[in-house]
Amino acid sequence: LVRLRARLSRSQNSLGKGLLTLLSREHLDEDTWEEIEDTLLTADVGVAPTQDLVERLRERVRVLGTRTPQDLRALLREELLTLVGTDMDRTVHTETRGAVDRPGVALVVGVNGTGKTTTTGKLARVLVADGKSVVLAAADTFRAAAADQLETWGKRVGARTVRGPEGGDPASVAFDAVKQGTEAGADVVLIDTAGRLHTKTGLMDELGKVKRVVEKQGPVDEVLLVLDATTGQNGLVQARVFAEVVDITGIVLTKLDGTAKGGIVVAVQRELGVPVKLVGLGEGADDLAPFEPEAFVDALVG
């Protein structure tokens, strides 16, 4: 696991710095508040959260009177933390719930290209490093390359991959993986699914079926939605579609290394009412970090 703050500071810093510079202006006139609003919107914070924050900042700056740089930094840090949320359960639940005699099961969903398979591989690595035995399920049976990619990750991190015939039934691959994981006494099964969004109905049917079939063997412990942080509003539209099909329990925001638009954390949490639990910070095996609001806000404010 990489240190979140160190890896984020370069790409995210501009948001906090920009806000601090604007808040430090001698005259906080309407134009300045508009610039503050634009800065937040440009960073993908989203309209409603931006308006909330600006309103609170206005009030607090008014009460503050004199504005020292330290005061402003502390104030901004506090408000951004409130916005990001410090009281959500950000644990990735991979332990079996209840008295079910089978591994913990996590479903990984999202549009193709967002980083689903890479995230599944990275997460497997974290779990294996934690002493867990992990089985990977290649439930994207439509792209042979996707199953190959997952299997490569499996070999790399020390996890067995269960796959089916090309074009086969994704739900049966998921079912088999859980069955084999149970027989082998594995701790966790991670199911990598397909995400062809252009066939929305097909996707709904398929994902819903994967979940139902797995649930015959016990509850799914975590449903992670993988979102590409660089896709902005598009990502939010995708998120909504997936949330209609399955109950998302956590969000993984990938490619946060390649964008200064960290505000998407706030927007997507608000949209789905689900916490960001993990962030992707690069293509490498170790480039996955738990999402820590304090470290994230520190990286923003610099």
Compute the distance between CA of residue 73 and CA of residue 252 in angstroms, rounded to an integer: 28
Pick 148 or 176: Cβ nearer ligand GDP: 148
131: phi > 0 → left, psi -120 to 50 → alpha, else beta; which?
Answer: left
- The nearer residue to ligand GDP, 116 or 160, going by C-beta atoms, is 116
Binding site for ligand GDP (CB under 6 A): 110, 112-118, 149, 254-255, 257-258, 280-283, 287
217 vs 254, beta carbon nearer ligand GDP: 254
Shortest distance in whole angstroms from residue 204 CB to ligand GDP: 18
Distance of closest approach, residue 96 Cβ to ligand GDP, in angstroms: 25
Instruction: Give 117's strand partners.
Output: none
Residue 167 known to bind ligand: no
Was 112 annotated as part of a binding site? yes
- Round to whole Å and give the CA distance between 160 and 260: 36
Sole residue written with tokens 């819903």? 208
Nearer to ligand GDP, 149 or 217 (CB): 149
Give, in order, the Cα–Cα distances in Å from 238 to each of 205, 229, 230, 255, 263: 16, 12, 13, 16, 17
* Residue 113 annotated as part of some ligand binding site: yes
Q: Is the distance from CB of 117 to CB of 146 less than 8 angstroms?
A: yes
> Three-state DSSP class for 280?
strand
d(CA 232, CA 254): 12
- If the CB atoms of residues 23 and 109 are measured against ligand GDP, the closer one turns out to be 109
Q: Which residue is nearest to ligand GDP (CB)?
A: 280
- 163 a known binding residue? no
Strand partners, 134: 188
CB of 230 to ligand GDP, least distance (A): 9
C-alpha neighbours within 13 Å on the C-beta side of residue 103: 30
The reply to whether 259 sits in an annotated binding site is no
Nearest-approach distance from CB 89 to ligand GDP, in angstroms: 23
193 is in an annotated binding site: yes
Q: Give the shortest CB-211-to-ligand GDP separation in angstroms.
A: 18
Ligand-binding annotation for 46, yes or no, is no
Binding-site members for GTP are: 110-117, 192-196, 254-257
